[in-house]
Amino acid sequence: MEPRERPPGDGGDGCLVGVVRIPVKIVAVLVVLPVRVVWELLVALGRAAHRHVLRPLYVHAVEPALRVLGRVLATLLKLVLVWPWVGLWRYLLTPVGRGLAWLGRGAYAHLLAPAGRFLTTCVFRPLGAALAWAGRGGLRYLLAPLGKAVAWVVRALAVLLFVWPWVALWRYVLVPVGRGLAWLAAAAHQYVLTPIGHGLAWLAVALYRYLLRPVGLGLAWLAVAAYRYLLRPVGPGLAWLAVALYRYVLTPVGQVLLWAWHVAGRIAGALWRGLKRVGWVLVGWPASRVYRHVLTPAGHAVREVWRTGRAAVREARAAVRQALFGTPPVEPARSRARTLGSTTAAGNTPAPEISLHERQG
């Protein structure tokens, strides 16, 4: 039975979709929208904290402290682990080794070498010649007959201990036992294994013919009947139910959730832009106005007062130097580069200055 298509109605998606969509909208407005707004605020705060607090703190405080700590630790490790061993090797072991090597070379050259030459010439060489002469005589008249007798005895003992026992074991034990085992194996194969094998083969044929084959045919017939009279009628119904559940329940719910997520994102974006605009109106714009119309003119005035006072101090110092030492006043290079009456950079022609005497005159 094939599932029939539902005819489209005039009332939209139907009452089921409306019943599902209204609670989903309420949940989206009450739950999804606040969560999205809080999430956007947390993201903005995290970015601002990383940009203006954590990164400058790491660059200007943590990283220099880590560099200084690393250098101090490297110096301490060198002091504790490297320099003591270098000093021990350089100032103790190397001189001691050189002294021991010098003592060894002197002892070998002036003590051991002469003693060895004396012992070789006067003791070992005559003793070796005597032992060689005695050995040649003893080998010729005593050791040769004795060696032959010992070799014959050893050969006889070897044959008696290592050859004859194995020959006897093979001849009188292993060969009879092997023949008996071969006869037993042939008898067992002929009178026991062959009948048992024939019986097992007949039993396997009978088991397949009268048990396994009927049971297999019955199970196959049962599977065919279950598929024909149970699974095939029930399968289309289950497929129609799954299609209806996906089409009329899951798809509307997913669309409503997606719409709620997009709406929450737009509302959160609008709120964020409104907060930015309010922040600019309440804080940024007044701060920029104060900086432009109050702080900048005040800074320019302070700078001009500072320049005027510095030029006056410089002129007074030059006048005192001229009065005390009689030297003409020399203006420093910094003052020549930028004078009180000129705003040009170094290299251009500065404006003429009026000295203190000319002002008083």
Verdict on whether the full-model pTM lies above 0.85:
no
CA distances to 44, 118, 262, 347 from 33, rounded to whole Å, are 17, 110, 10, 66
Q: pLDDT truncated to tens, each residue of the chain (361 aa)?
A: 344 444 444 445 556 566 666 777 777 777 777 888 888 889 999 999 889 888 888 888 888 888 898 899 888 888 888 888 888 888 888 988 888 889 888 888 888 888 888 888 887 788 777 777 776 765 666 666 777 777 788 878 887 888 788 888 888 888 888 888 888 888 888 888 888 888 888 888 888 888 888 998 888 888 888 888 877 788 888 888 888 888 888 898 888 888 889 888 889 888 999 999 998 989 889 999 889 998 999 999 888 888 887 787 778 777 766 766 665 555 554 544 444 444 444 444 444 444 444 444 4
Nearest CA to 42 among 247, 272, 340? Answer: 272
pLDDT for 296 equals 92
pLDDT for 218 equals 87
pLDDT for 308 equals 83
For the chain, the straight-line distance linking the first and the last C-alpha, in angstroms and rounded, comes to: 124
Q: What is the DSSP secondary-structure string of 190-208?
A: IIIIHHHHHHHHHHHHHHI
Rg, the chain, Cα only: 58
Count how many Cα atoms sit within 13 Å of the Cα of residue 93 in the half-sphere of its side chain: 7
Q: Alpha-carbon distance 191 to 200, whole Å?
A: 15
- Helix residue ranges, H only, the chain: 15-27, 33-49, 55-57, 63-77, 83-88, 94-107, 113-119, 125-138, 144-158, 164-169, 175-188, 194-207, 213-226, 232-245, 251-279, 285-290, 296-325, 333-337, 356-360
CB 257 within 8 A of CB 28: yes
DSSP character at residue 210: I
Q: Specify whether the backbone of 181 is left (phi greater than 0), alpha (psi in -120 to 50) or beta.
A: alpha
φ, ψ for residue 162, nearest 5 deg? -115, -15
Q: Alpha-carbon distance 142 to 2, whole Å?
A: 121
Q: Alpha-carbon distance 36 to 43, whole Å?
A: 10
DSSP character at residue 326: -
Q: Alpha-carbon distance 125 to 122, whole Å?
A: 7
pLDDT for 153 equals 82
CB-count burial class (<10 Å; 0-12, 13-18, 19+) for 21:
middle
* Residue 26 identity: I
**CA angle in degrees (0–180, nearest 5) for 120-124-130:** 145
> How many residues are present in the chain?
361
Q: Alpha-carbon distance 286 to 332, whole Å?
A: 43
pLDDT for 137 equals 64
pLDDT for 337 equals 45
